[in-house]
Amino acid sequence: MRVNSQMTRVVATPLTQEALADLKAGEHVLLTGVIYTARDAAHRRIIEAVERGDGPPIDLRGQTLYYVGPTPPRPGDVIGSAGPTTAYRMDPFTIQMLALGVKATIGKGGRGKEVRDAQVKHRAVYFGAIGGSGALLSGRIRRVEVVAYEDLETEAIRRLEVVEFPVIVVNDIYGADLLEQGKAEWRKQAPFTTEPPPYIV
């Protein structure tokens, strides 16, 4: 995945509107502050709660959701391996989550067009984290607390305090898509083929 040549920037969470406006697809970012974990089961429960009129179990306004189901920690560690889950698995829930105030999500791979359009509408971003780097990412997590749905075990919602957690802006609030940019650039360099190789998707 190609990235722009700008310097890596440190960004505090929860994200402000000013920070969101400054982020551009392709930039390297180090997140410092609080993010929350949530995968399929937690998303489903949140949506069901909202549909019942109960509201989400945590205030999602301005928050960042990390698509991860961490493994149990080893003795002395605050968390186990914490690599990203494929983001499109959460696409069926994401538009509703953005409407509830979520301003950023973190996963691996791309998002569908409806989600990308909703990110522009709600001024939210999607960050990519590097798959297969769970141990490295775990080292950037300083504190962990289960805050909802403890019975879901690894898929419970956790509050993470992170320091310089490395991500790349894949979709910014203006509709730019780093993965689509990469595909277009590849096609220019290989005009006699129709599809990029799998590693660029």
Helix axes 113-122, 91-99, angle to 10 degrees: 10
CB 82 within 8 A of CB 70: yes
SS3 70: coil
Among candidates 65, 71, 73, 72, which has minimal Cα distance to 89? 65
The catalytic residue among 39, 43, 108, 158 is: 43
* Helix boundaries (H) for the chain: 17-22, 40-52, 91-99, 113-122, 134-138, 178-189
Q: What gap in Å lies between CA 190 and CA 155, rounded to an integer?
A: 42
Neighbour-count burial of 31, counting CB atoms closer than 10 A to its CB (0-12 exposed, 13-18 middle, 19+ buried) = buried
* Nearest to 66, CA basis, from 79, 52, 54: 79
Token duo for residue 13: 């969470």
Is 28 known to be catalytic? no
Strand, coil or helix: 137: helix
Q: Which residues are catalytic?
A: 43
